[in-house]
Structure 1
Amino acid sequence: MKRLLEVCVDSLASARAAIQGGADRLELCSALLAGGLTPYTALLRQIRQESSVPVRCLMRPRAGDFLYTPEEMDLLCRQVEELRLAGADGFVIGCLTPDGELDRRALEPLLKAAEGTGLTLHRAIDVSRDPVTTYREAAALGFDTVLTSGAAASCEAGEAVLKELLAERDRLNGPEVLIGAGVNAGVIDRLRRRLPGARAFHMSGKTLRESGMRFRREGVPMGLPGLDEWHIQQTDPGAVRAARDALDAEI
């Protein structure tokens, strides 16, 4: 089966860097510092003007949990329609019930809005009650990919659950298990050796770019207190290339 390297990006500069580094697919979002939110339609159009690389858009209306109100779900459906027209190839979606189960009923209109595109279940699976059950339900709903850390803070810490999910993938011929959270070239190499079925990885490859501002007024944060305003996170093409090489290497 084909190996997949997906890079999550929230700017045109990062999209260019990911493509330069050899990404197979982009996950487009905004506000990566908040874990990723729904991207700007205009940003997708900018990327589409330069590249035909497959792009899946993260659909997340706010930071925080994955228990969404009807109004938030309606917003997501409207945004899916706009992003489809702008050239999105697929969508990264998910929502949970208060009891931590995949909310199939709430997902129905969103799945209908995204019908005919690629579908990834995002890391809502990692905070669900039973990730293996959630994976099976995602398979039944028609998702082709599940993005997961193995229900842990990092994918290496979630190795045991990832092993279970990879076994389910092979048993069901189910959605691809897209391994994310803390991914870099070294992690890819180690997990491929310990999990022979691992073949799809998701990373940001972020580095800090120094701000071009010469005048810097300190102590006036624009967001969370203590957030560094003078360094911008941006994808490093070298980190993506190293990950690409690690994924393509024979082991």
Structure 2
Amino acid sequence: MIREACVGSYIEAKRAEEAGAGRIELCDNLFQGGTTPSYGTVKKALEEIRIPVLVMVRPRGGDFCYSSQEVEIMIENIRLFRSMGVGGVVLGVLTKDKKIDYPLLKRLLGECSGMEVTFHKAIDEVEAPVVEVEKLAEMKVTRILTSGKAPTALEGEAILNEMLIAAGERIEIVVAGGVTEGNLDLVRSRIPATEFHGRRIVGDLTI
């Protein structure tokens, strides 16, 4: 089982590693759902942290429908992170009518050669996330981060379990949404995934 800690700074990333996290999702501005962290933060994390670090590629908070200028920012950040040796990025792109923007996703994936790619919780805004699992797997996306279209994983249990079945061995489903160190065993008992994600999945990192 992998416990992926969602962190908003280098300090939190280091604390998460020390607390037993198996992987880091490195962001900035968690109050906006996570945006791209600074070059310095990513560099320090790569230098000091031994567990895998995934870096958020999101130019702003708000929706997941981006302008051409924002797309260029995302591409430049992906290229930068790839040149730095980042092992994986986290991203998600939708159209105005809340469908996955597959042409744009294909373009971004083309920039991610050699890196793992997580399609983040933007998928929880689409009408039928279970249907999208196979499409994302075909595009060689590494994993999907989701709470099953619900505020919490426990509330999204039914959809999450359907997504796990649809995924099989082709793509990883990372269960998110209110998953903490305190309720992880309960969540696992109801959603038999192997990867879980949360801000407090290895305890409070803000202390």
Which interval holds the TM-score relative to the shorter structure?
Answer: over 0.9
Aligned equivalents of 2:128 and 2:96: distance in 1?
14
Count the aligned residue pairs. Answer: 206
The partner residue of 1:23 within 7, 21, 24 is 21
In the alignment, residue 201 of structure 1 is paired with which amino acid?
Answer: F
Does the 8 Å CA contact 2:6/2:25 hold for their aligned counterparts?
yes
Q: 2:199 aligns with which of 197, 200, 204?
A: 204
CA RMSD in angstroms comes to 1.7
Q: Give the C-alpha shift of residue 90 in structure 1.
A: 0.5
Question: Is the CA contact 1:102–1:137 (under 8 Å) kept in the aligned structure 2?
Answer: no
Q: Tell me which of 185, 188, 191 is aligned to 1:189.
A: 185
Deviation of the 1:174 alpha carbon:
2.2
Aligned equivalents of 1:236 and 1:179: distance in 2? 22
Question: 2:179 is aligned with what amino acid?
Answer: V
Structure 1: unaligned runs, 5 residues or longer: 207-233, 238-251
Amino acid across the alignment from 2:136: A
Contact 1:148/1:177 (<8 A) preserved? yes
The one-letter amino acid of 1:198's match is A
Structure-2 residue corresponding to 1:72: 70
Q: How does 1:1-251 map to 2 (within 5 A)?
A: 3-170=1-168, 173-195=169-191, 197-205=192-200, 235=205
Secondary structure of the corresponding residue to residue 36 of structure 1: coil
How far residue 52 of structure 1 moved from its aligned partner, in angstroms, is: 2.7
Letter in 2 for 1:192: R
Matches of 1:236 and 1:175, distance apart in 2: 32
Task: Tell me the TM-score normalised to structure 2 length.
Answer: 0.94
8 Å CA contact 2:45–2:53 kept in 1: the answer is no
Displacement after TM superposition at 1:133 (Å): 1.6
Query: Higher mean Cα deviation, 45-54 or 67-76?
Result: 45-54
How many angstroms does 1:86 deviate by?
A: 2.4
Q: Which amino acid aligns with 2:190?
A: R
**TM-score, structure 1 as length reference:** 0.78
Distance 1:199 1:236 in 2: 26
Task: Give 1:236 shift.
Answer: 5.3
Q: Which has the larger radius of gyration?
A: 1
Residue 62 of structure 1: how far off its partner (Å): 0.8
Q: What is the letter of the counterpart of residue 196 of structure 2?
A: F
Counterpart residue identity of residue 174, structure 1: R
- Distance in 2 of aligned mates of 1:192 and 1:63: 30
